[in-house]
Structure 1
């Protein structure tokens, strides 16, 4: 039966991907069902993989059948059992296809947003032709090579790294005026559209210690970062560059809605320190909403009952709220 959009006035449920079946994704999705009764959602994957995690499972044929009585699963063919901690190459193609299916359902209005359980790139490349660095890049490709940035968000802080998964000794070369300009613009649009902030305040971290301290600890801030921020400030509400070691204490955080940082750890260390369990990964710049828990597949604890669903619950609630704002 073909899936159809939600009736007028009804918010479509969130589409949750199964993620890597050998990781903790199945467990945190199942655990989220009783913890987030305020968020209608359905999982996509092999129903047998979701069984055995302490919640009732109900197989559905259409997202319109989602109800609160059980974890609703839209079946997708992923052959083989899900053995915790032991990736199976037979799963790879199905895991990739589930992501594409969730995106399609969301773009057609059948689902309100995509919430992705963690994947493991090695498991996907071992079992399928997966040429993307990760989830974000694959989602951008599904959206026609959309220009995207990664945001990590919790109640107390939102951060966006301008450069992400590259070695530290390559950051200074990769960080260009064009990249920072693009990152600031996508962040500004996302804060307005998805977080409902009419006039965002974006703090920008410096690259070097003490934001270069007038050129004595690095020249990038003086030569081009500060002039770029000054030029964009009237349009984007950005300010800085600020010394990264003094911009994340509570009084400083009260002065901005998001922080754009220059590299991965500069952004992720503060948010993981403030809210390690409750952070959410958000992809800004897509034509659809995508959130994800801020953790990986955790093969070492899969199947032990130790996985914490807090981040998955937060990701579901943020996806629901973002969808309502776009609605």
Structure 2
């Protein structure tokens, strides 16, 4: 397939946030992909006028042609908001609209209308205020697609970091890292690197939990009792190296040989990645039967409509989604 035959769908997220802004900014340039934006036409017209961006909006429906994206043209699948949108001002009445965008995109990827989805940021709080329990994109997609286990991975050009635990207090991390959880995470990570990144025998660096990876048990027993035995069970499935001291594995001699790093907790791996790829990193959900990438930032309500929001992470998310859709092999 050529680039132009891959259909990407972009959800515009919280309408009062910077989702519409960064999509309009990204649309000013050429991109080697076909992409359809889900959102309200009036929101994009008003935001383009506010930002003084010249854009030609073409309405799109399933079954319509999807040519490669051209600078200044936006293919839009119109989904109406309930209330008028004011940049920077949340309205819980529009939460149903935000969720509808996700439903259309997810279902469209499942039925192959789209080859991958890219998500602009949503505001979890205002969705919950509307009466709908919502903990985030990842959980929504996991439930909607019936996925068994999903893994959060952030990526930039030079580094991919997946997480064993995500948003947990540090005091709860050690207890959460069980052989069962680590096995599930590793299985999903290995399968995704093979199926969605085209890596036949991925090399994965695994960080230890404790300083110096426990130093033979003198600084903690998790490496000896949990991590090492679990890693051994996967030795025939991938080239797994570890557990390694986290303070040295993020150095060139290790990283230049690695396809991905598996960190034990959020702030063990992500600060390094964001230092290396700040503004250009992408959030990728592994373990889904579809491809999903996302920007690595929030709704930034204070920037909505000001022209100050940066579109770089969205552009990177589009590129990653395209590359993954080209390499995907679920056979």
* Displacement after TM superposition at 1:64 (Å): 2.9
Counterpart for residue 37 of structure 1:
31
Counterpart for residue 3 of structure 1:
none
User: Structure 1 8/104 Cα, relative in aligned 2: closer, same or farther at 3 Å?
Assistant: farther
Counterpart for residue 113 of structure 1:
116
Does structure 2 retain, via aligned residues, the 8 Å contact 1:42–1:63? Answer: no
* Displacement after TM superposition at 1:76 (Å): 0.7
Does structure 2 retain, via aligned residues, the 8 Å contact 1:24–1:302? Answer: yes
User: Structure 1 308/10 Cα, relative in aligned 2: closer, same or farther at 3 Å?
Assistant: closer
Aligned residues: 320
Query: Is the aligned partner of 1:70 residue 2:73?
Result: yes
Query: Is the aligned partner of 1:164 residue 2:166?
Result: yes
> Equivalences for 1:90-169 in 2 at 5 Å?
90-129=93-132, 131-169=133-171
Does structure 1 retain, via aligned residues, the 8 Å contact 2:11–2:102? Answer: yes
User: Residue 233 of structure 2 is aligned with which of 216, 231, 234?
Assistant: 231
Consecutive unaligned residues of structure 2, counting only runs of 5 or more, are: none
Instruction: Please give the TM-score of this superposition, normalised by the length of structure 1.
Output: 0.93
* Displacement after TM superposition at 1:9 (Å): 10
> Equivalences for 1:166-205 in 2 at 5 Å?
166-205=168-207
User: Structure 1 49/128 Cα, relative in aligned 2: closer, same or farther at 3 Å?
Assistant: farther
Does structure 1 retain, via aligned residues, the 8 Å contact 2:6–2:322? Answer: no
Residues 120-139 of structure 1, C-alpha deviations (whole Å, 9 max, x = no match): 1101111241x232100000
SS at match of 1:320: helix
* Displacement after TM superposition at 1:197 (Å): 1.1
Counterpart for residue 18 of structure 2:
24
SS at match of 1:268: helix
Instruction: Please give the TM-score of this superposition, normalised by the length of structure 2.
Output: 0.92
User: Residue 48 of structure 1 is aligned with which of 42, 57, 60?
Assistant: 42
User: Structure 1 29/10 Cα, relative in aligned 2: closer, same or farther at 3 Å?
Assistant: closer
RMSD across aligned C-alpha pairs, in angstroms? 1.8
Counterpart for residue 58 of structure 2:
58
